[in-house]
Every structure is written in C-alpha cells, then in structure tokens.
Chain A
C-alpha cells in the first residue's frame, strides 16, 4: 500500500491538497477581504500594525503555550501568572530603586519557577495538567492578591520600563518587536534544536522517549516553565503599557491563548503542532477582535461571533482530518 500512497501524491498533487493545512491561511485571507470591503480602514498599514500590537501579549503567551500543548498538557494558570508578574515587577522596581535590570530578570525567574513547579507535579506525579494548573491558577491569583491587594498600583518610573509597553521604534510599538523576535526564536527552537524534537516526542509517545534514553520529565518541566515565562513577559508588557500593575489582570486571557494554539492545529492529545500555525491562530483571533471592533459591533455580539468563527474553523480542519483517515 505504501507505493500506492506515494504514487498518487506524485501524480495527482492538486487533487490531494489537504484542506486542514490551507483552511487557516484561507480563512485569514477571506476574513481580511470581508472586513476590508465592509470598512476599508481595516486594510490600512496603520491598522495592520494595530492588529499586531493588540495581538502581541496573547501571541507571546501562545508561543510558549504551544510547547506545553505539544507535550500533551495544558496550562490554565497563565492569567494569574501574567498578573503576578506585573505586581512583582512593580514591587522589585520599588525596592531596587527603579532598576529595570534587577526587576525584570527577578520577575521572570520567579515566574519560570512557578511554571516549573506545576510542571513537576504533572511530570513526576503524573497528575492531569488541567487539574494541576487549575490549582496553580487559584494559588497564584490568591498569592497576587495577598501581595498587592485588590487595588491598582501606579508605575510612573523609570522611562526604560515604560518604553517596553508604550515605546515606538520607527513608528512601530515595541511589543510588536518583542513578539516578532520571540516568535523567530520559538520557530528556531522547534525546528532546529534537539529540545524541539524532544517536545514533540514526549507528547507523541512518553514511554518511547524514556526508552530512547531521554529525561522526558525534565522536558515537560521546562515546557511549563517556559509557558509561565511567556505569561510573565506578557504581564510585564501589560503593566508597562497601562502604567499600572494589579493582581486582577489577565482574567480569562488563557481562553484566547489556548484558542489561538488550538486554532493553529495543535492537538490537545499532544505530539503535533507548530509555532508558525500558532502564529496564524493568534493573527486570526487578532483580526476577529480588531475587525469587529472597527465595524462597531456590540461587545456582546463580538463575543458570540468570535466563538462561532472559532468553532467553524475547527470544524473544517476536523472534518478533513476524519475524511483522510
């Protein structure tokens, strides 16, 4: 049967186009065209930058989340981690006399550790990731409120910190650059490093990875650490953007992050998924939010439309996967 499969794909490449592969890019283009027709403002260069800007925080978190989902796990705690990162950063700035070089690395390492701890429970004890990170979600939110209380904390200083979220380089907001650079790094890690290969291997067949001499627990723990790191970067950008930190930020953001990854085609069963397609998923959600906003659709309708579009996109890829089986 092998020869038959390869032969057909050589002789009839056009008839074998995989709908699940092109569905997402096609949907991106179709939606852009529709929004542009409905309101030409959508297609302006300025608005495209705005879309990227609006997507950057969810985007950065989705890059890291992709690795966790490829291992067959999930991390629900990214919202509270985003919030606590802002709070921690504000606090470190205060006690370190506004030193960004102390505050940011300290925040990032604490958040990485939080992720690694959830990862350890998943890896060593074998608890389901959804339960562990649900618990982490609650603990981190609680810890954030304990540190910062329910109030907003203003961050006026230093300039260098505010530049991260609000600065412009050549007219383009800094968070866009951060997203693009991190995306490039994530693609490189996935495609060109042994770590990238092993992340997929762990999600695909945990036992075979172990029997191939690899420490699959370590890989899982690093992935959860990275996921929290992504959330922490998102939290720092957000705190810098709005000049405030609060323990209540980021509620519900995990839904957008996970939706972006899943829209990109990563399987929640693990083993498959790519960073490039996650980026497409991020753009998809960004375009929906932005386009509906430009069209002045009520927020209630926006939420419903967003959900419907996500379901449709997933449906198309799922139907096609079934047919090819």
Chain B
C-alpha cells in the first residue's frame, strides 16, 4: 500500500536537551501503528510536531509525498492530519451535529446555517465510516465512548487521512474499548492511517499492525507488532529492570482474608437510582478490588463510604463501631483516605505546588494556631517526594506541569500523609505510564503489608488480577459476588462483569 505519512529525520531540541533525535516514521493507508515510549521518551514531542503545535529543529513531514509547513496547526488540519486527544475537546452543551461542524458549518447568505446540507454531509460521513451516532443527541448526555466517536467524526469531517489517537481508551471500560476497536477497524478498512498511543499492552496487540518504540528521544525499534513478545516490547521501551518489576505484578502473593481483622463492614447499603443492597467487609492488610463496567456505580459507592455521597439505608461499621458517613472531614478524622478517579476534577489543586498538594489533608496537624511550621513541612514533603519518587523532586513545582504519573503520585502522597487505616483508590493508574504504574502497584502492596486496608476500584482486568486479594464484581448497582483472586480466572470475572449470572 502507498505511504501516506512520512516523517523524516525529525529533531527537536529544548535548550541543551534533545527531546527528539533524528526520528523517522512512516504510515501507510489502512495501517494502525502504535507509538510506544515511557513518559519523556519523546512521544508527545513527535505528536506535537505532527499536529503542528510545535516546530522541529530539523527534518520534514510529508503527506502523500507533499512536504508540509511545520509548526502550524491549521496546515496540518487542512492537509488531513487529525488528532483525538486524551481529554475531550467537545462542547458538552451542543448536539453531536453541531460539534462535528463546530466553527465551520456550511452557511447560506447572511451567515444563516445550512442545516440541511450539514445534516446530509454528516449522515454521509457516518455511513461511510460505519459510525453509529445520533446527530441530535447532546454531547454531555453521551457515554464516554460515544464522545470519542464524535471526536473521530469531527476529525473525519475535515477529510482526515491520518488520525493520531492519544490514549483514547484511558477513560473507557472494557466493553467500550471493544466498541472503539470496531470503529478503528472500520476506519482502517476505509484507508485511514492511524497512529495509536496507549500504555495498555493488551490494546496494542489487539488493534495495531506495527509499532514504533521511542526511548530517550530516539527510535529504538520499528517493526510489525507480531515480531515482538510483550516482554521484549516492555524491555525495549522501559528498560530491563522496570520491565521485570511491571511483569512481577502478575506473580503477586495473595493474602488470605482473615475475618478477625475486619476493619470496615458495610451492611445492605442502598441508594435509590445508584446502588442496591451492597454488603461487604474489608480486613486490615488486604486489597479488595471492586470491578465492573462504567455505570456499575462503583465510584458512587466509594463516595458514599467517604461521606461525599449520601445513603438511603444500610449501615457502615468501622473497627466494630457504627460509623456515620457524615462528610469527607469526618472520614478523614477516622483515617479513611480516598484517591478519587478524576484527579483533575476531584483530586488536585492544579495551580498549586507539590508541597501544598501533598499536605492538603494533613497540614492542620503540623500547624500550630493555624501557623505553618516550615521545618516540619519541609521534612514531610521531602520524605514523601523521595518515597514516591516524584520527579522533579522540587516541592515548589506547580502540579499542572507534572506528567500524569507524577500527578497521581502526588495525589496518593497526599493521602499517605494521613496514615490511613482504610485507603480507597478509584482507578489509581488511569493515564499513568507503565513505569509509574508499577511503582504505584509496589506502593499499594507495601501499604497492605504494613496493615492498611485497601480498596482499589478498577476496570483494568490486568490490574485487578495483578493486585487483588479479593475481588468484588458490581453490575448496574448490584453486587455480583466477592471472589478470592487466587481461585478465579480472568475469563470468569469478565463474564460476571458483563452481568452473566453465576454458575
């Protein structure tokens, strides 16, 4: 097949640091190429050059053999290079149709919108790429996977020949990922070239034809993905030691559930429209994974235990005594910690520095009469930065400038400062690179071994099977069951997650 996109000898330097060194990449029509690399490997630099967000110091980009002007987003868009970013770029309050044509609707005289033409064009587009979207639906009411498809349609409406997809599945559940893959395959069949970026190895092997591996700004491998085993792939981009740590996830020693050690017991928790009759208990020094699809109301249940969501009926016991889920403040007083799913919305002060974020739940304790004790603050913060290996190790660094993995570490560190007895982590590794992921797993295990009772909410089966001692499956607000991780297969869990009745 013809070569669609060709990037030749791209080099990008920031001061004395070379972010991308002499990188070349080719993409054919109908090819899905994965771009792999740890954070800082030069992936985002390459993507930014391809979208026109930044210029390169050297090298050129050709589309259909025609060289493109670098550093100009409009040129790239008009030439046909579209990008689906990790975070949504849609206007939530507008309809699907309006979003697809946002800012460049066909118009009649006096700037009147040509609704008919717009709709006809959109319908043709959806048909051509086999996308199933309701054009009149308001974007904010759509599930995440549909919103991704709207973004894809938006890019295709611009006649995109090349689509860059940056972690498109980061916020999707298992079945939604499969839906998205169907869409990707349809695009592939109609000759669109796709560059697919993801930290999930499962996905790469499921959807990609070829792989380009970046490490420290250099392209270290460019081959068909079937030529590499998972282990080889991991070793190529994160180095041998980290790769071993990451795969060790799967050889983790499960702990028995000891009923005498139960610290948190939930009895018949119900909330109308959310969850119904959920009971479970959690012991010191164990990891309970709660899994299920988006919409299974796991997050709502966690917010209820933490006190940021109410309860219609049911009782919660903490260390044997009845516990009232009054407010987050009350939960914190009882040393219950909660790392929320959406770290930007619920977790971090993005404009504040690492130090203030790390101490957000505990600074009252190290202040006297409300006055901060700088010496104690410095001690605690530097200890936590070191323990969590947060880079850069600068307490004054603004959190929005950190990578996803480091942001997540700061958020977890904030709750470690509480010395929690119960720690709830909701999707702790979403949007986090493989290296940081394995560090987070190591940390969770270490906390468990120190006796912390841990709940991990996760949609990632690899993760659930890797770290859980016990697994609770939820399906549309109901408990499907609780299983010992050692004695259940991944396939079974997936079946229960999908709502299949237990045999």
Contacts and interface: CB of A to CB of B under 8 A. Distances in A.
Given A7-B17, A208-B347, A213 B40 contact: no
Contact of B394 (A3, A6, A271): A6
Given A2-B403, A213-B331, A214-B329, A193 B372 contact: yes
Interface stretch (B100-108, B130-138, B195-203, B356-364): B356-364
Most buried by B among A8, A194, A213, A272: A213
Interface string A210-253: 11111100000000000000000000000000000000000000
B392 A2 contact: yes
Contact of A201 (B340, B349, B392): B349
B14 to A, nearest CB: 5
Q: Which of A7, A210, A212 has the most CB of B within 10 A?
A: A212
B370 interface: yes
Interface residues of B, number: 46
B190 to A, nearest CB: 34
Contacts of A12: 15-16
Interface string A261-273: 0000000000110
Nearest to B327: A213
B308 interface: yes
Contacts of A2: 39-40, 391-392, 401-403, 406
B475 interface: no
A204 interface: yes
Given A192-B372, A212-B414, A204 B360 contact: no
B120 interface: no
A200 B349 CA distance: 9
A43 interface: no
Contact of A212 (B16, B328, B391): B328
Contacts of B392: 2-3, 5-6
A197 B356 contact: yes
Interface centre among B348, B349, B364, B401 (most CB of A within 10 A): B349
Contact of B45 (A1, A192, A212): A1
Contacts of A204: 349-352
A50 interface: no
A32 to B, nearest CB: 31
A201 B360 contact: yes
B208 to A, nearest CB: 23
A215 B367 CA distance: 17
A195 interface: yes
B437 to A, nearest CB: 16
B332 interface: yes
Contacts of B206: none
Nearest to A192: B372
A271 B349 contact: yes
Nearest to B391: A2
A66 to B, nearest CB: 15
Interface string B29-62: 0000000000110001100000000000000000
Contacts of B332: 212-213
Given A1-B19, A8-B17, A192 B40 contact: no
Contacts of A5: 14, 392, 401
Interface string B316-355: 0000000000011101110000101000011111111000
B329 A213 contact: yes
Nearest to B41: A1
Contact of A11 (B16, B338, B348, B414): B16
Nearest to B402: A2
Interface in B395-413: 401-403, 406
B17 A4 contact: yes
Contacts of A6: 392, 394
A193 B377 CA distance: 12
Between B332, B392, B394, the greatest number of chain A beta carbons within 10 A of the residue's beta carbon is seen for B392
A211 B349 CA distance: 12
B501 interface: no
B363 A194 contact: yes
Given A5-B401, A11-B16, A208 B348 contact: yes
Given A8-B17, A194-B370, A210 B350 contact: no
A195 B370 contact: yes
B17 A3 contact: yes
A207 interface: yes
A205 interface: yes
Residue with the greatest number of chain B CB neighbours at <10 A, chosen from A192, A208, A271 = A208
A207 B346 contact: yes
Nearest to B348: A208
Contacts of A4: 14, 17, 19, 40
B370 A3 contact: no
B361 A213 contact: yes
Contact of A194 (B15, B372, B401): B372
Nearest to B418: A213
Contacts of A210: 308, 328
Nearest to A191: B372
Contacts of B371: 192-193
A1 B39 contact: yes
Contact of A211 (B16, B328, B333, B367): B328
Nearest to B401: A5
Contacts of A209: 349, 360
A200 B329 CA distance: 19
Contacts of A272: 351
A243 to B, nearest CB: 39
A7 B18 CA distance: 10
A3 B402 CA distance: 10
Given A194-B364, A204-B350, A8 B308 contact: no
A212 B360 contact: yes
Contacts of A215: 329
A201 B357 CA distance: 9
A193 B366 CA distance: 11
Interface in B278-337: 306, 308, 327-329, 331-333
B391 A3 contact: yes
A282 to B, nearest CB: 23
Given A11-B16, A193-B372, A3 B40 contact: yes
A215 B15 CA distance: 44
A290 to B, nearest CB: 34
Given A194-B363, A212-B360, A1 B17 contact: no
Given A2-B392, A3-B391, A208 B40 contact: no
6 contacts: A3-B40, A6-B394, A192-B372, A193-B371, A200-B351, A271-B351
Given A8-B15, A213-B328, 11 more contacts: A1-B39, A2-B403, A11-B15, A192-B372, A195-B370, A197-B360, A200-B356, A204-B352, A209-B349, A212-B332, A213-B331
6 closest A-B pairs (Cβ-Cβ)?
A213-B332, A8-B15, A204-B349, A213-B329, A271-B351, A6-B392
